[in-house]
Structure 1
């Protein structure tokens, strides 16, 4: 049975509060684990069945149950969540490759909430009561883990997360019920990275600025597309300048001299050297 997950608001910055618990934000994709009549199914937040992609997570609990969490993979070199790794797992459909990945790039289900258990709907229970039930479970294997939390000290946890280069922190009201919508009772604080880029073009069809950064030799190389963060005033200012810088175009893009610089925030750099989820911050003049 699929339950639409509870979603996070974005906090303006790290915070501490005695009415909140704080968890590390796992860098993977959302997973609803459902065991009904002994049958295990796995779903993404958008109700896409991904059961066959994660054979190591199809193990049953002692009773029917619905759990919420993140599926993640760990980079063996750094010990940090490998988002690209879990995306490779998620996009693989061929049975032989799925089986190989299960051995070489094993997935972990990081559980942070329990929604149904032993025939009871727990969503109206306060979060702390749900956590107590969750921590009483016997997990099926080492591929299952429960996300740890601390009470009150969100800023101290964020400092540790930032120092380790992890994704961020989630703050949740201790008395929050589980609702299938975005709620201010759950808030995320992302550990953003920052970069300075050159804008070398733009999309024709919808908003998107092409970003580039210097390589080791000083030559610019493509680094991704900025699609978020620019206000109407920023876009207007860009349009006022860019027509003087056009060097060419193709079916999808207009290309510019690399004269416009910008500061962006991002989740991290991908292994191929691209900005992951870049968000425009400001022009550099």
Structure 2
């Protein structure tokens, strides 16, 4: 007869002694139904880590959010946060998941590729996903939502993670995303020093709730650099009339288009930028732009921009406008891709 796990904490709720306890179902025990696709718990953005002993911290991985599911009919499915079936994208993860000692489960985590410094590399992950590469893609699990007939979402995070530890095993393709109990600001500083994407803060005793309920927070490490503005797009529906700026970096003796920035403007700054750029119009872009219709300008304006990283195609990721700078001040260093 199939056994079903329940969660049981140690004396006094000692999380370190929490474990999955198997018991044989009797007539009064009915399995929880296997859930339809569960919308993920999403982290709200925060500018600084929260304080308090009820928070634990994890590294924020720069990868693809992924659910590993073993259904009652035995099927293994890899599902994205948007509900798409990516079972054929990551054969290494799929093979490792086949060895998990549970008849049914839903595991939440992130597919990542690590570079030589042990930092998650999103561009390398994109490439591996396109190639269906088995060896380099890892799955970092951070939550267990369902296991062998028990829906675990109502349990505290620490107990769900204790159950995850019991089944994730030691296959190198499946790893625990470790949590730490630390000063959040110090942990963030250490993560940024290591060139990580940032950190995630989670309430240790919170249940798993789909959506952005505030139980999870993300605090990112961003890079900042200065880029030449080579064009803009205006819109009546945008704040201050400015939809986005087109940016370029130096590359050798020329300029290379690195994408656009469309967030971070105040209404006042957007209006001022538009007023300035309208005096610098030219008929063609000074760099080769692969998409978008814009008003092109002479590259005499510099924008300081924060961004998460650069895609494999050389475009800025999650760019946000910080401020305009004076190009001829002698103190501005334009980003140089050939450096």
* Equivalent of residue 78 in structure 2, options 35, 42, 49: 42
Would the aligned equivalents of 2:79 and 2:87 in 1 still touch at CA under 8 Å? yes
* Equivalent of residue 59 in structure 2, options 8, 12, 24: 24
Q: Summarize deviations over 1:31-70 as a string: whole Å, max 9, x none.
A: 0111112211011111111111111122322211001111
* Equivalent in the alignment of 2:134: 102
Would the aligned equivalents of 1:22 and 1:153 in 2 still touch at CA under 8 Å? no
* Equivalent in the alignment of 2:10: none
Measured after TM superposition, the shift of residue 276 of structure 1 is 2.1
Larger strand percent = 1
* Equivalent of residue 127 in structure 2, options 88, 92, 105: 88
Would the aligned equivalents of 1:2 and 1:32 in 2 still touch at CA under 8 Å? no
Point out where structure 1 has 5 or more consecutive residues left out of the alignment.
none
* Equivalent of residue 264 in structure 1, options 299, 305, 321: 305
* Equivalent of residue 139 in structure 1, options 150, 169, 177: 169
* Equivalent of residue 168 in structure 1, options 166, 181, 198: 198
Measured after TM superposition, the shift of residue 269 of structure 1 is 3.2
Would the aligned equivalents of 2:93 and 2:134 in 1 still touch at CA under 8 Å? no
Q: How does 1:52-67 map to 2 (within 5 A)?
A: 52-58=88-94, 59-60=97-98, 61-63=100-102, 64-67=104-107
Would the aligned equivalents of 1:17 and 1:152 in 2 still touch at CA under 8 Å? no
SS of aligned partner of 2:257 = strand
In structure 2, distance between residues paired with 1:187 and 1:211? 30
SS of aligned partner of 1:132 = helix
With 52-61 and 189-198 compared, the bigger mean Cα shift is at 52-61
* Equivalent of residue 188 in structure 2, options 149, 152, 158: 158
TM-score (norm 2): 0.76
TM-score (norm 1): 0.89
Measured after TM superposition, the shift of residue 226 of structure 1 is 0.9
Measured after TM superposition, the shift of residue 216 of structure 1 is 4.3
* Equivalent of residue 320 in structure 2, options 251, 254, 279: 279
Would the aligned equivalents of 2:110 and 2:139 in 1 still touch at CA under 8 Å? yes
With 46-55 and 136-145 compared, the bigger mean Cα shift is at 136-145
In structure 1, distance between residues paired with 2:168 and 2:82? 28
Would the aligned equivalents of 2:263 and 2:320 in 1 still touch at CA under 8 Å? yes
Would the aligned equivalents of 1:226 and 1:279 in 2 still touch at CA under 8 Å? yes
Task: Count how many residue pairs are aligned between Structure 1 and Structure 2.
Answer: 274
Q: Summarize deviations over 1:156-204 as a string: whole Å, max 9, x none.
A: 2212211110110100111111111112111111011101111110236
Measured after TM superposition, the shift of residue 82 of structure 1 is 1.1
* Equivalent in the alignment of 2:118: 79
Mapped pair 1:5 → 2:40: yes
In structure 2, distance between residues paired with 1:154 and 1:148? 15
In structure 2, distance between residues paired with 1:48 and 1:83? 19
Q: Cα distance 1:249–1:232, how it changes in 2: closer, same or farther (>3 A)?
A: farther
Would the aligned equivalents of 2:188 and 2:198 in 1 still touch at CA under 8 Å? yes
In structure 2, distance between residues paired with 1:21 and 1:280? 31
* Equivalent in the alignment of 1:70: 110
Runs (4+) of structure 1 exceeding 4 A deviation are: none
